[in-house]
Amino acid sequence: MHLFSHTHFVACLTCGALHPCLRRSPTQGDSSEQEATESYQQFRSTHAGHLTSEVHRHDSESFADRPLWDPMASSAYEVTDGRRTYVVISTRTSIEEPRTYRIMPGSIEVHTSDISVDDRDIRRGLDYAFYPHAVRGTKVDRFVTALREVISHVEPDELAIAFDAADDPQVSIAPMPEVRYAELLSRCAQIFDGWELSRVSSFLQSNRGEDGLLALRVRRHYLTALTI
């Protein structure tokens, strides 16, 4: 178990500084843990005459500027002392240096969300679904246009987020809502002939889940609302 808790912090509200709380006592003879304890005690000593409060992280929106597995990723998330909400900014200047934390009163809100699919993968998937036959390129174009139009009507609160994208911390993956899927099938009937529609319907059915080609990529744009 790591020495520090990264869900519970002691905050200096006078300086806007933050330090993770200790979760347990260091093991005797462990120099790295002794140094961590000294860091925590130094923080307490430095801010002893200031307004301090213990805060904890809660389940709310957060964002990072790089994938979360990247040790150099900067992140922002909310914490609370039970009365007020604060935004924590976590950064580091190099891989050798420990993280630093800053705290300020406020909250993180989703400002807008962009919803999309990968057109190129959709086109390749349709080609494969029709192999060894082929479908006219103009029909594929009409299908992609219809798909984009259907997606443009999706509201973020319709979506059941399945997981976050590993390569982009601002993107989540969700299956297409049932009503939008039905709308897309209806639009396909206006584009494809009977034998083609059977292939397309099978392709859509196989790819409608969060791990399929119709999975929606939801990119969130955040706004930090600071309070006084």
Report the amino acid identity of residue 157: D
Q: Which residues of the chain have pLDDT under 70?
A: 1-5, 23-31, 60-61, 225-228
Answer whether residue 120 is part of any domain: yes
- Tell me which residue has tokens 């597995």: 69
Q: Note whether 115 and 171 are within 8 A (CB).
A: no
Answer whether residue 227 is part of any domain: no
Distance from C-alpha of 125 to C-alpha of 135, rounded to nearest angstrom: 12
88/166 same-domain check: no
Residue where a domain terminates, one of 84, 108, 132: 108
Q: Note whether 80 and 45 are within 8 A (CB).
A: no
Provide the b/e sequence for 35-46 (b: ≥16 CB within 10 Å).
Answer: ebbebbeebeee
Question: Which residues sit opposite 112 in a β-bridge?
Answer: 221
pLDDT digits (tens, 9 = 90+) for 110-138: 777 899 999 999 999 999 999 999 899 99
- 66-69's contacts with Cβ under 8 Å and 24+ in sequence apart are 66/169, 67/166, 67/167, 67/168, 67/169, 68/169, 69/166
User: How many separate helices (H) and strands (E) can be counted in the chain?
Assistant: 5, 10
Answer whether residue 42 is part of any domain: yes
Using the 8-state DSSP alphabet, how is residue 158 labeled? G
Residue where a domain terminates, one of 108, 127, 148: 108
- Residue 143 zone, left/alpha/beta (φ > 0; ψ -120 to 50; rest): alpha
Residue where a domain terminates, one of 108, 142, 166: 108
CA distances from 21 to 25, 40, 52, 89, 126 (A): 11, 8, 13, 16, 53
Based on its alpha-carbon atoms, the radius of gyration of the chain, rounded to whole angstroms, reads 25
138/208 same-domain check: yes
Answer whether residue 228 is part of any domain: no
Domain containing residue 48: 4-108
Distance from C-alpha of 59 to C-alpha of 174, rounded to nearest angstrom: 19
92/117 same-domain check: no
How many structural domains are present in the chain? 2
Q: Note whether 112 and 218 are within 8 A (CB).
A: no
Answer whether residue 35 is part of any domain: yes
117/218 same-domain check: yes
84/148 same-domain check: no
